[in-house]
Structure formats: C-alpha cells, structure tokens
Amino acid sequence: NAGVTQTPKFRVLKTGQSMTLLCAQDMNHEYMYWYRQDPGMGLRLIHYSVGEGTTAKGEVPDGYNVSRLKKQNFLLGLESAAPSQTSVYFCASSRPRQNRNQPQHFGDGTRLSIL
C-alpha cells in the first residue's frame, strides 16, 4: 500500500528556476492538498482540490500554481523560485467531508532549498 507518494524527496534550486512537485495517491481520494511547513509555523495550506479538474487557493497561494488533471495526481508548480519558498512541502489526500471521520493522509514530504 503506497498511500501518498511525493517526488522528488529533495531538491536544490537557484533563484528564478522553475520546478514541479508531483503528488500521487492510490486511495481513490477525492480531495488533495498541498501544504508547506516552516519552523515554528505549523502546516499552512497552499492550494487544494476537491476533484479532478478543480483547484482552489489556500492560505498561502502566492508564487505557486497547481493542476489536477487526473484524480490520483496533484501537481505543485513554482514558476520562478524565490528563497522565501525554501520549505518542506507536504501533500495530503482525503475523502470528502460528507464521509464523516475522514482523516488526511500525508506523503513523506519534499525538502526544497532555494539558493
């Protein structure tokens, strides 16, 4: 059971470069989320998706774009990386809230450093 898989696990970028983080889940979950985690800040929601072809902004969306072309995949893009985007990025997935008691399942994270 893979659950939620994130690639890559580590990446170092130079300021201004672009990259895409991939999240894949095999649990047939409708909802998917991208968070960033910075020291002392907890997990902050960047973007989320409630189904294939839909995306919405979270708490800290600036500088990021997302796409959900397939139900199982959720991509996070950085068009022009900035040092402030150095962080650990977590992807999560869940069933809809209508199914009560549904937790979010997290991937192992992507550690991104921007120089």
Partner 1 sequence: QQPVQSPQAVILREGEDAVINCSSSKALYSVHWYRQKHGEAPVFLMILLKGGEQKGHDKISASFNEKKQQSSLYLTASQLSYSGTYFCGTEVDSGYSTLTFGKGTMLLVSP
Q: Which residues bind partner 1 (CB under 8 A)?
A: 31, 33, 35, 40-45, 48, 50, 56, 58-59, 90, 94, 96-97, 100-109
> Which residue, among 27, 36, 12, has the nearest Cα to 90 in the 3D structure?
36
Residue 86 CA to chain centroid, in angstroms? 14
Choice between 13 and 89, CB closer to partner 1: 89
Which is nearer to partner 1, 79 or 108 (by Cβ)?
108
Q: Work out how close the CB of 15 gets to partner 1 at its nearest, in angstroms, rounded to a whole number.
A: 26
CA separation for the pair 111, 113 (Å, rounded): 7
Min dist. Cβ of residue 109 to partner 1 (A): 6
Return the amino acid letter for 15: T
Give the nearer residue to partner 1 in terms of CB position, either 57 or 70.
57
Our CB check for partner 1 shows the closer of 59 and 79 to be 59
**Cβ 85 to partner 1 shortest distance, Å:** 19
